């Protein structure tokens, strides 16, 4: 039986990954690590893992990776581990500007602890959730993995640091390290601080949504199921020992276009409150995914309208929790 450790497993992407892995293969055991960070309501994270808590192949550890030493981790996880999928992080570009030290502690020290744990346990496969935010102020679209990185937020800099830590441990200890740069992931279980979740919640409640700038900023929105398929392919990847790979949808959609699409799904017009663009936000993200296609056979297939519809249905199904969380 394969044994995977998934950090941040009660969060948005982590819980979708675990659900898919458990559905795909009864021969996979998952150890999920999460600390229920109060960045958003722990009730939502409990909802995320509710369906597989009773699965005998799932175990949950409530731990903070930033203060849990590799030796302590090894006491909690005594059996062999085939791969670490490290998704846990302190999230959010704008909050990182207000409290950069907290982001260093969780995103850099936490990653260091996990890499030391991997070395101690002789774990050969380490998949790291990086971010498109590392590209920063770069207008060479679409972004390729070998672009010069120019991050403009503490959050982005911590993700770049994680990629470099992985390179060090690959060279020193032979750990295969695959960094996946995610591009604006959305879908069921999406965090409540992210635009699509906030917009749909506000529109349905008849409340205004906040639009930073004139709506011309754009993002490469990627549906979570497509991201999960890329992660699973990275878990199985064995050809080289260190790679950085974009996981996006390979087209960029403006904020104005996104709002229109959300209005169509929700069946209501948005009340828009316009504010200036925010420090730390880039104007556009746009992934070149040719490397992901070549190495991981990555083929994103979810159109925005279909992905928004799936999120809308999930939101409606769980709105009693989501509206009160």
Q: What are the residue numbers of the active site?
A: 155
Please write down the long-range contacts of 239-243, taking CB distance under 8 Å and 24 or more positions apart: 239/295, 240/176, 241/170, 241/174, 241/175, 241/176, 241/177, 242/166, 242/167, 242/170, 242/171, 242/176, 242/177, 242/178, 243/177, 243/178, 243/179, 243/291, 243/295
Peptide bond before residue 142 is cis, with ω within 30 degrees of 0? yes
For the four alpha carbons of 132, 137, 142 and 145, in that order, the dihedral sign comes to: negative
Write the CB contacts of 294 (distance below 8 Å, at least 6 apart in sequence).
none
Alpha-carbon span 298 to 293, nearest angstrom = 4
Which strand (E) or helix (H) includes residue 290?
helix 290-296
Residue 302 structure tokens? 């979810």
Partners of 84 in the β-ladder:
5, 126
**How would DSSP label each residue in 8-23?**
TTTSHHHHHHHHHHHH
CA dihedral 93, 97, 100, 102 (to 10 degrees): -60
Residue 221 structure tokens? 């929105």
Alpha-carbon span 147 to 141, nearest angstrom = 10
Q: How many residues does the chain have?
A: 325
């Amino acid at each position: 039986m394969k044994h995977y450790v998934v950090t941040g497993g009660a969060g948005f992407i982590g819980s979708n990954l675990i659900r898919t892995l458990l559905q795909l293969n009864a021969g996979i055991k998952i150890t999920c690590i999460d600390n229920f960070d109060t960045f958003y309501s722990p009730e939502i994270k409990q909802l995320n893992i509710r369906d597989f808590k009773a699965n005998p192949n799932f175990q949950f550890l409530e731990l903070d990776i930033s203060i849990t030493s590799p030796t302590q981790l090894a006491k909690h996880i005594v059996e062999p581990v085939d791969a670490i999928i490290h998704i846990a992080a302190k999230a959010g570009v704008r909050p990182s500007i207000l409290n950069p030290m907290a982001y260093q502690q969780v995103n850099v020290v936490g990653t260091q602890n996990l890499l030391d744990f991997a070395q101690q346990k002789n774990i050969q496969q380490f998949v790291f959730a990086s971010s498109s935010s590392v590209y920063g102020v770069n207008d060479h679209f679409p972004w390729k993995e070998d672009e010069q990185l120019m991050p403009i937020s503490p959050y982005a800099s911590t993700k770049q640091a994680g990629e470099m830590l992985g390179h060090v441990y690959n060279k020193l200890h032979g750990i295969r390290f695959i960094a996946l740069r995610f591009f604006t992931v959305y879908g069921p279980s999406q965090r409540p601080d992210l635009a699509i979740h906030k917009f749909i919640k506000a529109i349905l409640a008849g409340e205004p949504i906040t639009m930073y700038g004139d709506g011309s900023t754009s993002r490469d929105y990627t549906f979570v199921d497509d991201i999960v398929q890329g992660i699973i392919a990275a878990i199985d990847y064995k050809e080289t020992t260190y790679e950085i790979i974009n996981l996006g949808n390979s087209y960029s959609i403006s904020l104005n276009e996104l709002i229109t699409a959300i209005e169509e799904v929700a069946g209501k017009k948005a009340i828009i409150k316009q504010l200036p663009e925010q420090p730390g936000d880039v104007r556009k993200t746009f992934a070149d995914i040719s490397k992901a296609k070549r190495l991981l056979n990555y083929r994103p297939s979810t159109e925005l309208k279909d992905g928004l519809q799936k999120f809308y249905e999930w939101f409606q199904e769980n709105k009693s929790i989501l509206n009160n969380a």
